[in-house]
Amino acid sequence: MRVSVSKSHITGTVSAPPSKSYTIRGLMCAARANGESEVINLLIAEDTEAALNVLQGIGVGVKRDSASWHLSGGRFKKPEGELFCGDSAATLRFMMALGALVPGECRLIPGPTLARRPVNTLVEALRQLGVDCTAQGDFAPVTIRHGLKGGLTELPGNISSQYITALLLIAPLAEADVTIRLSTPLESKPYIQMTLDCLKRFGIKIDTFPDYREFHASPQAYQPARYPVEGDWSSVSYFLALGAIAGPVTVNNINPDSLQGDKIMLNFLKQMGAAVDIDKNAVTVRKSSLNGICADLTDCIDLLPTMVVMGALASGDTELTGIERARIKESNRVLAVRENLERMGIRVQEESNRLIIKGSVPKGALIDSKNDHRIAMAFSVLGTVSGDMIIDQAECVAKTFPGYWDLLRSIGGEVKTDE
């Protein structure tokens, strides 16, 4: 599907979709709790449906209603066939760990995009805990056989926080105590804080060293919980940016005190000169003259596409550092944003861990989304100012934000679809 975006008069209010990261964490924890848990106000999108389908495949009972999913967990069964994870990296990586608790053998199958994302570091970390886990080189499919002894496992902290979350999910369920030690400093620390918060709500205590270089868990049991999911800061970053370049836009259902790392978007907006007002669980951003800034994205790597399109319109240079891991997301996002900005007449300087955007006046162009939801959404924001923009493979937003195009239209976005 192609979407065309014309110059738009943007004004209005949107409600933040529920957090994908918290939804999937809540589902995984509920699956291990012996009894019924309720995950409330959760995100319904391709990634969360993939997580739910895999959990049902190993015996987790699910009842769905309009506002929540009720999960009956605690006992896994041997799956009847292969478990398809779609293109959800969190589902694949978290299930690589939980698969060690499933009787018999689990085989996890990736979608086409996920098949290009590495997993071998997690495979090696699981093996150190006694798990029989194999992959095809550095990639899925992954096969896991029942068994989780415990002990010490060590892995780098700068590849993917999802690897560490996966280990934390199963650490309390091993036969013996588990110590997780990071050989390099942790990046994306907020995601680990979110995991620890979710575990705590399901009755699990993890001892954490102050620098987040080591974690310790003794044997424990998950407890059923009623788990509400807050709004997603990653998804609303596009509407906050939209407010700054074309607004005003108000975003409801968002927690300014959230543990989510992408709430730093508010700080970036203010540093760039945007007018930002916070009122309880709502944020309003008004159209402003933006200035280029230096921003470290080490702990908020999903903001790269959003910050890039704001930098394209800012006065002066916007320098983004801590970007290396963005090369192994749904697409090589560093390459994707550079290529698409250059199509729009914006000069970009790319280095291994730094991107410099020369602010100017972007022109309309055909945008290659690389089938990456964050590329499609971010460049649609820029299209409301440049006009004459066509976004290829625009249906990819369904991965995390299936209502995105309708929501953009609701506040004045001139959006047309071509199936």
Catalytically active residues, by annotation: 302
Q: Cα-atom radius of gyration of the chain, to the nearest Å?
A: 21
CA dihedral 17, 19, 20, 24 (to 10 degrees): -130
Q: How do beta strands 178-182 and 151-155 pair? A: parallel
Dist CA 147 CA 133 (whole Å): 10
The sign of the dihedral angle between the CA atoms of 138, 139, 144, 150 is: positive
Query: How far apart are the C-alpha atoms of 397 and 234, rounded to whole Å?
Result: 13
- How buried is residue 258: exposed, middle or buried, by Cβ count under 10 Å (0-12/13-18/19+)? middle
First to last CA, the chain: 5
* Cα–Cα distance, 211 to 361 (Å, whole number): 43
CA dist., res. 226 & res. 48, Å (int): 18
Measured in degrees and rounded to the nearest 5, phi and psi for residue 187 equal -110, 155
